[in-house]
Chains A and B, each alone.
Chain A
Amino acid sequence: MTQSFRLESGGLINRDKKISFKFNGKNYYGYEGDTLASALIANGVHLIGRSFKYHRPRGFFGAGVDEPYAIVQLYRNGETEPNIKATEQELFEGLEAKSVNCWPSVNFDVGAINNFLKIFLPAGFYYKTFMWPKSFWYKIYEPFIRRAAGLGTASIKHDKERYEHKYEYCDVLITGSGPSGLASAYSAAKNGAKVILTEDKSRFGGTLLTSEVNIGNQSGKEWADSIISELKEMPNVTVKNRSQVFGYYDHNMLVMSERISDHLPKTKKFHPKQRLWYIRAKEVLISSGSIERPIVFGNNDTPGVMLSSAAKEYMKVYGVLVGKKPLIFTNNDSGYETAIEFKKNGIDPIILDTRKEPQSEIIEEAKNMNINIKNSYVVVAAQGYKKVKSADIAKISDNKEELGSIENIECDCICVSGFWTPTIHLASQSGNKTKFNEDIDAFVPGISKQNEKTLGAANGIYTLEETLKDSFEQGNQLSKKITNNENKVSFPNVVEKKSTVHDKFWCVPLPKGKNYKRFLDFQNDVAVSDIEIALKEGYRSIEHVKRYTTLGMATDQGKTSNLNGLQLVSKIENKVVPAVGHTTFRPPYSPVSIGAIVGREVGKHSKPTRKSPMHSWHEKNNAVFVDAGVWLRPRYYKRGEENLFEASKREAKNVRTNVGVCDVTTLGKIDIKGPDAAELLNRVYTNAWLKLPVGKARYGVMLREDGIVMDDGTTTRISENHYHMTTTTAQAASVLSHLEYYLQLVWPELNVNVVSTTEQWAGAAIAGPKSREVLKKLFPKSDVTNEGLPFMGYMEGDLFGVKAKIFRISFSGELAYELNVESDNGYFMWEKIIEAGEEFGIQPYGTEALSTLRIEMGHVAGSELDGRTIPYDNSLEGLLSKKKDFIGKRSLSRKAFAAEDRQKIVGVVPLDKKTSIPEGSHLVKDSNAPLPNPKLGYISASCWSVEHDNPFSLAILKDGRNMIGEKLFVMSPLKNKVIPVEIVSSHYVDPKGERVRS
């Protein structure tokens, strides 16, 4: 294919570097510096996709971020990405792209039948047509719509690219490198402020690249280049191209996505594909420019109808003609600039100007170039299906309501200019109260909420001289406030052509007897008639009209459609536009890839992994690990072909008969010191703590203020004013915050310090009837007899030269000890325990056996202390002191907590002593009762009792204390199980608690 629409010379592309690419399977060539859009247009390709709803042919409408049509599926380096704008995607060698929204192909599209059945797809079609019958939605409508509509297909492969996040601070953030961005950045930088200047496109300069102006005896582009290269040299300045600031959040936090590698065939080694910047700026200058608005006319979505500024940009930046017989349809002077550019490139355009007798320097120049200008003329409708072939045009009356006789003129593109809409998205996101500017017929920023100011065209200032003056001044003033420097920049001489006022004309009336579709929202196929229907049906609020018709809801967020939609509503409703108001602008300004938002927090990096000092021992000994919060804990140690069930049964059994050792490093540990330490414990625990002797541990339960159990654990008095508290693994952080809350805010008079020591200590529980024998070998110099170290006793010991804390506490219900050594000695301790225990048959046990042991003992844990239970429910009421007040005590006297038939923990055994009971199952009286079957309670934890060799569960059961001996049913609809069970005591093993004291 030849690039038949490429100009002989000109543009900012590199004609020395040819680039080959593929579109819809066909090979094409472009040049380095092209976008996919400019390269396709150069090759005469104008049909790029099908529209969302009616599957009408779609071409190019813009040349950048405002593009509503040209969305493609991109293929790059073995990966694919949907929702890529061809106008933004830079060309690279080997690029492949495909049309979306077309099935089976862009030229023959089944969905286009919607176009002829359009009666079925009016405003609110999602809500109306597809609601009935219900089953049709799932079976027919939804699959059909999903196949026929949509903006591409997301890859289901793992994304191998790397995405990064970066946090940055600056004095002044400037979003956009057009004239206002460059001028303000330059003066702010000269005052020594830390400046970040961002540009969405690959080239800096914005409109300076395409306008015929002169700044300080340089062309606009030359001036932009010189300012940028000077800024790049300054150490206090960061300039970033291919970077879109897409969100303005609270407290001047802005988020930007930088496309680092998207323009390359392949991401370079050690480089990310994209980088997301979180920028906290003291001041923000919004220099995002403006977007040309369309004029609405019949069939205005035909490929070849595009913004006049885009046509100019394709010529000036890419050296590409969008057509060879252009029709320019304008209500202002901008269309003339495009016409002049065509003329300079040897093409004869025709200008249709809605104005009667406009006069200005630019118009004069066009006239002098003998450009054909038709005043008071409009395009009534574009003709042609896959590409514009001609236009129906007519004279329009002075009141803009009557059309003259229709003439048809041949053309291959219609370049539309309906004047300019400031890009106020970021300002609006920041909370700025926008206001309507009558002169430009558009909203501009009003009263700021945060430290932001909007400059230049984004603020409705459309002359270069005024823009530069204001921007130099604002950059200077804002930076002076921060740095206290003032280096005035001398203002350059500016030459630009003066333009005259625009015509507030935005929609061509329909000629008699014609019913052309006139589109407002090009991406979502919302036509004038849709808005009319919505208003007829009673929708008034613009937010409701938007959602009902989907106006402005597509990925382009209505960049080209919003204002014309408002104009239409205001006209029908007979209200002024500001009274209609605009819909809320929300981030992101332009789509951001999910990868960039996620950053590097994927897979193993999604959260930290905490490992105990003994982790490598567990690994070497075939531990199978389980996530316990962010900790990795051994679940069981696999021997041979054992499965989880067999291994955990073996491990638990060995604890009951011999001795086992379990890594309990993950338990939360809090060091508590100070003369009022006992008083603190006495207030936060439900039981009495003032008389605990030194060298003794005590079990305690902590409540929330609402009486619900928060956590449990043992706390040991190490010395007079020093306590060692343990918490559950899960609640370690919240218990520390809880204690800090009371010490700092409620009882600042208490002289106590608390600090987390979870990571300072490695812990091992040695449990089983032979555990004392092991301990004797580990601490030959210490008296660890039942008298020397009784149940709930504490002592320090010498573990072969390592200082160890020895607690005689038990979770398993057996004679048991817990050893703590400094973390660095954890591995040493563990090896010594294994070595000493060998002759007694010691085995390590994991969390599964740990659970089994505590469940059959009736010891509560996280599954019972689940944030819904009070002490009574867990049979912990014996720990409630009657003599003192404590956190949460007052709540326990609430009526529901004292109810006679209050829920309580019980044991559950299946009648057949075989069937395992799924956790979370419900307990019911009658398994055949009609639904909803009244639920009496639920299974909180299940195990295979190694003591009784049958299944055993704990349950929280209504009126549990009077239910022992009752026969009930366990029902698990998830597992489709109904199991007859008997309710027993929750203490299934050693109910008198003799073993721990033996």
Chain B
Amino acid sequence: MLHIKCPHCGMRSQNEFSYGGDATIKRPELGKEISDQDWDNFVYNRKSLRGKHWELWQHLSGCRQWIKVQRDTATHEIFKTLKANEEIS
């Protein structure tokens, strides 16, 4: 079970969180024209990375905040966590 540092609550067990996918995907702006290919990339196409990956988790049974977590998908090492409004650098 992972141990995730919520930027709001501190170190908590994985079972308080739910996974939310790739954190680097930006939703296209509402009302803007977008090609089929770009839309498909946003909705469906994800890289299944091995290694460092920025991903979203929601602290469901805690503060309910969505957070960004940089995790190694192979080793599960967690390098960094950010609040929703903090930019991935």
Q: How far is the CA of A252 from the CA of B27 in the complex (A)?
A: 36
B9-68 interface (Cβ within 8 A of A): 13, 18, 20, 27-28, 30-31, 34, 36, 39, 42-44, 56, 58, 60, 64-66
CA gap between A741 and B57 in the complex, in Å = 10
- Contact assessment for A891 and B1 in the assembled complex, using a CB-CB cutoff below 8 Å: no
Task: Add 14 more A-B contacts to A741-B58, A745-B84 (CB < 8 A).
Answer: A250-B2, A250-B76, A251-B2, A253-B1, A253-B3, A280-B3, A280-B13, A449-B75, A740-B64, A740-B66, A744-B66, A748-B85, A885-B31, A886-B30
Could you give 14 example pairs across A and B, Cβ below 8 Å? A250-B3, A251-B3, A253-B1, A278-B1, A280-B13, A705-B42, A737-B58, A740-B66, A741-B66, A744-B66, A745-B56, A746-B27, A748-B84, A890-B34
Task: Point out the residues of chain B lying under 8 angstroms from A706, CB to CB.
Answer: 43-44
CB-based contact A740/B58 at 8 Å: yes
Question: Is B39 a contact of A891 with CB atoms below 8 Å?
Answer: yes
* Complex interface: chain A residues within 8 A of B18 (CB): 737
Interface centre among B34, B43, B65 (most CB of A within 10 A): B43
B5 nearest CB across to chain A (Å) = 10
A891 to B34 CA separation, bound complex (whole angstroms): 11
Q: Please, which residues of chain B bring their CB within 8 A of the CB of A737?
A: 18, 58, 60
Q: Tell me whether B43 and A891 are in contact (CB under 8 A).
A: yes
A683 within 8 A of B: yes
Q: A249 in the interface, Cβ–Cβ < 8 Å?
A: yes
Classify chain A: how many residues form its interface, as a range. Answer: 20 to 34
Does A431 sit within 8 A of B, measured CB to CB?
A: yes
In the assembled complex, A118 has its CB within 8 A of some CB on chain B? no
- Residues in chain A near residue B60, CB distance under 8 A: 737
A882 at the binding interface (Cβ < 8 Å): no
Complex interface: chain A residues within 8 A of B65 (CB): 744
Q: Which residues of B contact A251 (CB under 8 A)?
A: 1-3, 76, 78
Residues from chain B with a CB closer than 8 A to the CB of A280 are 3, 13
Asked if A803 is at the interface (CB within 8 A of a chain B CB), the reply is no
Closest residue of chain B to A756 (Cβ to Cβ) is B64
> Within 8 Å CB of A249, what residues of B?
1
- Name the A residues within 8 Å of B39 (CB-CB): 890-891
CA–CA, A875 and B73, complex, Å: 42
Nearest chain B CB to A147's CB is how many angstroms away? 40
- Of B30, B43, B84, which is within 8 A of A744 by CB? B84
A contact residues around B84 at 8 Å (CB): 744-745, 748
For window 266-296 of chain A, which residues contact chain B by CB distance below 8 Å?
278, 280
- For residue A737, give the distance in angstroms from its CB to the closest CB of chain B: 6
Q: Complex formed: what's the CA distance from A744 to B68 in Å?
A: 11
Contacts of B28 in A (CB 8 A): 890
Q: Which B positions have Cβ atoms within 8 angstroms of A?
A: 1-3, 13, 18, 20, 27-28, 30-31, 34, 36, 39, 42-44, 56, 58, 60, 64-66, 75-76, 78, 84-85
Flag A703-729 by CB within 8 Å of B: 1 or 0 each. Answer: 001100000000000000000000000
Known: A741-B20, A744-B65, A891-B43. A683 touches B58 (CB 8 A): no
State whether B31 touches A884 (Cβ < 8 A): yes
- Name the A residues within 8 Å of B56 (CB-CB): 745
Q: Find chain A residues with CB under 8 A from B34 CB.
A: 890
Please give the distance in Å from B76's CB to the nearest CB on chain A: 5
Question: Which residue from chain A places its CB closest to the CB of B26 in the assembled complex?
Answer: A746
The CA of A449 and the CA of B72, in the complex, are separated in Å by 13
A13-24 interface bits toward B, Cβ cutoff 8 Å, 1 = contact, 0 = none: 000000000000
Task: Using CB atoms, name the residue of chain A closest to B42.
Answer: A705
Which residues from A are CB-within-8-Å of B30?
A: 683, 885-886
**A residues within 8 A CB of B85?**
744, 748
**Across the interface, which residues of B come within 8 angstroms of A278, CB to CB?**
1
| A577-621 interface bits toward B, Cβ cutoff 8 Å, 1 = contact, 0 = none | 000000000000000000000000000000000000000000000
**Docked pose: A278 CA to B3 CA in angstroms:** 13
B30: nearest residue on chain A (CB-CB)? A885
Kindly report which residue of chain B lies nearest to residue A431, judged by CB atoms.
B75
Report the separation of the CA atoms of residues A642 and B11 in the bound assembly, to the nearest whole angstrom.
55
Q: Which residues of A are found within 8 Å of B42, using beta-carbon distances?
A: 705
> How far is the CB of A333 from the nearest CB of chain B, in Å?
41
User: Shortest distance in angstroms between B77's beta carbon and chain A's nearest beta carbon?
Assistant: 8
Chain A residues 852 to 892 lying within 8 A of chain B, measured CB to CB, are 884-886, 890-891
Residues of chain A with a CB closer than 8 A to B58's CB: 737, 740-741
For the complex of A and B, the 9 pairs showing the least CB-CB separation, nearest first, are A251-B3, A744-B84, A885-B30, A885-B31, A250-B76, A744-B66, A253-B1, A746-B27, A745-B84
| Bound CA–CA A737/B21 (angstroms) | 14
| A431 vs B60: C-alpha distance when bound (angstroms) | 29
Q: How far is the CA of A740 from the CA of B66 in the complex (A)?
A: 8
- The distance in angstroms between the C-alpha atoms of A160 and B55, with both chains bound, is 43
In the complex, chain B residues whose CB is within 8 Å of the CB of A683 = 30
Residues of A within 8 A of B64 (CB): 740
CA A253 to CA B56, docked complex, whole Å: 22
Residue of A nearest to B76 (CB): A250
Distance between Cα atoms of A252 and B43 in the complex (Å):
35
Instruction: Name the residue in B2, B30, B34, B65 with the highest tally of chain A Cβ atoms < 10 Å from its Cβ.
Output: B30
User: Chain A residue with minimal CB distance to B60?
Assistant: A737
Question: How far is A142 from B36 in the complex, measured between Cα atoms in Å?
Answer: 54
Cα A745 to Cα B86 in complex, Å, equals 10
Q: Which residue of A lies closest to B11 (CB)?
A: A280
**Which among B1, B31, B66, B76 is the interface contact of A745 at CB below 8 angstroms?**
B66
* CA A249 to CA B75, docked complex, whole Å: 11
A737 to B59, CA, bound (A): 10
Q: Determine how close the nearest CB of chain B comes to the CB of A884; give it in whole angstroms.
A: 7
Closest to B32 in A: A885
In the complex, A385→B34 CA distance in Å? 80
Q: Which of A731-784 contact B (CB under 8 A)?
A: 737, 740-741, 744-746, 748
Residues of A within 8 A of B27 (CB): 705, 746
User: Within the assembled complex, what's the spacing in Å between the Cα atoms of A253 and B76?
Assistant: 13
Encoded as 1 (CB less than 8 Å from any B CB) or 0, chain A from 888 to 899 comes to: 001100100000
Q: Which residues of B contact A705 (CB under 8 A)?
A: 27, 42-43
**Which residue from chain B places its CB closest to the CB of A251 in the assembled complex?**
B3
| Complex contacts, A890 vs chain B, CB 8 Å | 28, 34, 39
Q: In whole angstroms, what is the CA distance A250 to B14 when docked?
A: 10
Residue among A249, A884, A890 facing the most chain B CB atoms (10 A cut-off): A890
Nearest chain B CB to A465's CB is how many angstroms away?
A: 37
> Chain A residue with minimal CB distance to B66?
A744
CB B25 to nearest CB in A, in angstroms, measures 10
**Residues in A whose Cβ lies below 8 Å from that of B44:** 706
When chains A and B are docked, how far (Å) is the Cα of A597 from the Cα of B71?
Answer: 28
Complex: A737 Cα to B65 Cα, angstroms: 9
In the bound complex, what is the Cα–Cα distance between A318 and B39 (angstroms)? 73
Nearest chain B CB to A751 CB, angstrom units:
14
Q: State A422–B51 Cα separation when bound (angstroms).
A: 32
Which of A449, A706, A745 is packed against the most chain B CB atoms within 10 Å?
Answer: A745
Q: Which residue of A lies closest to B65 (CB)?
A: A744
A529 nearest CB across to chain B (Å): 39
A362 to chain B, nearest CB (A): 44
- Contact partners of A741 in chain B: CB under 8 A: 20, 58, 66
A753 to chain B minimum Cβ distance, whole angstroms, is: 11
User: When chains A and B are docked, how far (Å) is the Cα of A387 from the Cα of B28?
Assistant: 77
Identity of the chain B residue whose Cβ is nearest the Cβ of A253 in the assembled complex: B1
Contacts of B76 in A (CB 8 A): 250-251
Contact mask A459-479 → B, CB, 8 Å, 1/0?
A: 000000000000000000000
A746 to B26 Cα, complex, angstroms: 8
Give A891's nearest chain B residue, CB to CB: B43
Give Cα A890–Cα B85 distance, bound, in whole angstroms: 26
Complex: A740 Cα to B20 Cα, angstroms: 12
Report Cα–Cα, A705/B66, bound state, in Å.
Answer: 18
Nearest residue (CB) in B for A683 is: B30
Give min CB distance, A507 to chain B, whole Å.
38
In the assembled complex, which residues on chain B have CB atoms less than 8 Å from the CB atom of A250? 1-3, 76
Q: Which residue of A lies closest to B36 (CB)?
A: A894
Q: Quick one: which of A249, A705, A744, A885 has the most chain B CB within 10 A? A: A744
Distance A280 CA – B1 CA, assembled complex (angstroms): 9
Q: Smallest CB-CB separation from B3: which chain A residue?
A: A251
